[in-house]
Amino acid sequence: MRIAIVIVLALLLGTCSQKPNQLEQVLESGELRVVTRNSPTTFYLGAEGPAGFEHDLAQLFAERLGVGLVMYAPEGFPGVLNEVRHGRAHFAAAGLSITESRKKDLRFGPPYQEVTQQLVYRYGVRRPRELDEIKESNLTVMSGTSHEDLLRELSSDYPNLAWESTDTAESEELLQWVSNRVIDYTIADSTEIALARRFYPEIRVAFDMREPEPIAWAFRRGDDDSLYMEAVKFINETRQSGLLSQIADRYYGYTDKFDYVGTRIYMRHIDSRLPAYREMFDKAGEFGGIDWRLLAAMGYQESHWNPRAVSPTGVRGIMMLTKVTAQQLGVENRSDPESSILGGAQYLQHIKNRIPERIPEPDRTWMALAAYNIGRGHLEDARVLTVSNGGDPDRWMDVRENLPLLSQKKWYSRTKHGYARGREPVKYVENIRSYYDILVWIINSRENTEPLNSTVQTTMRST
């Protein structure tokens, strides 16, 4: 009997002394360490703090675990994978392609996105149709990336193929080099190009380098799969719930339509027209609690920052206020820039205050902008149609799909406020989002604002 008790105690003591698994360690420490890259498609410091597709997805995972997120970017792309291999990061969320070479010592979670590697050149240069046509040119890619791996693969079929690798520049900087004629070509992911062409409108895609590739989080290989399995479960659930699509829409939902001429003109107007009204936008933003750059983007969409602008329907001024709205706001002269801008800010805030508070940002702002354009009544009609069609009336990406139905009798006959040109607010919001991003990028670049930190810690938020 005594021997049996001793054995049981030994087993219990052995169990108690076992090292906690990786998931338990994360929960005990209250900290999830995620390595990434500083780029518009992954992680950066935005106007309201840390942002980026990878950041938002990792933040949701940390919130699910009930811990804080520590997200950091090492020097150079190879450092991202090394942080995972050496166990300094729990996993990498860096827009990583799943490749055979990486799978040798890394374990990938479920794919949550696809990207295509594309050859980029500059507008005004003859477009190459195949790799043989660029053998005498300067092709530069990031070292340690799947882009460099692909070139090594292709070199057996293209013996004259030559390229340079750099570990001092990120993908966006290489795209800038192409735009500024520093280099002739680079290879970038389709998502990076879609975002960057708004800032560098001269860049063009020559051709796809290969078929689309899946993107996933990368974990260290080993016997402990506790955190990995929790991440697999999380990704699958976010995909099924539509939350993954919502995050993607937040960053890429308006990038598929690109207006080269319009973008060039807008960037010129930032220099030639905006300075006269910047202080007015700034003051109106402070008064209304709205980012002045968003107001400026609205003003450009409304009037191209022309205080004398008048539409065929009679709205006028920089913020294109109707006569009735101006009277309600106490704006006596709609053509006066300061009065118009302040009135526009007040009206937007008034609309936003009437949008249900349960709707999270940025969806609440996008819906307020749509209502500014089409009227709150028509927005509510679209939200009702969204419910009828199985969508979520609190998600902009779902409401956006139903707004155009307001121009079809089959649908608007069922609504309270009837017919509306429902495609207009969709384009209106898309344009403002693009104008806003370009303005933020230019202002930050010129005013030497706080650079991207190597490490940003985000405390757990209640959900």
Token digits for 230? 């929790």
Provide the 10 A C-beta neighbour count for residue 182: 13
Residue 192 annotated to the active site: no
Strand partners, 458: 69
**CA torsion sign, 302 to 306 to 307 to 313?**
negative
Token digits for 285? 């933003």
Name the one residue in this structure whose structure tokens are 């990028």: 441
User: What is each CA distance from 111 to 81, 93, 330, 438, in whole angstroms?
Assistant: 17, 12, 54, 30
Contact 118, 207 (CB under 8 A): yes
Name the one residue in this structure whose structure tokens are 């080993």: 222
What gap in Å lies between CA 232 and CA 109, rounded to an integer? 6
SS3 of residue 32 by DSSP: strand
**CA torsion sign, 297 to 283 to 52 to 399?**
negative
Q: What angle do CA 81, 84, 90 make, to 5 degrees?
A: 140
What gap in Å lies between CA 373 and CA 426, rounded to an integer? 9
Token digits for 371? 């209502």
User: What is each CA distance from 324 to 238, 287, 385, 452, in whole angstroms?
Assistant: 44, 22, 28, 45
Catalytic residue among 170, 172, 302, 380: 302
Per 3-state DSSP, the chain is made up of helix, strand and coil in percentages (nearest 5) of 50, 15, 35
Q: What angle do CA 26, 105, 23 make, to 5 degrees?
A: 15
Contact 41, 193 (CB under 8 A): no
Contact 97, 192 (CB under 8 A): no
> Which residues make Cβ contacts (< 8 Å) with residue 258, sequence separation at least 6?
197, 198, 201
Identify residue 30 by its one-letter amino acid code.
Answer: G
What gap in Å lies between CA 252 and CA 113, rounded to an integer? 12
Token digits for 314? 């009679």
Q: Catalytic site residues?
A: 302
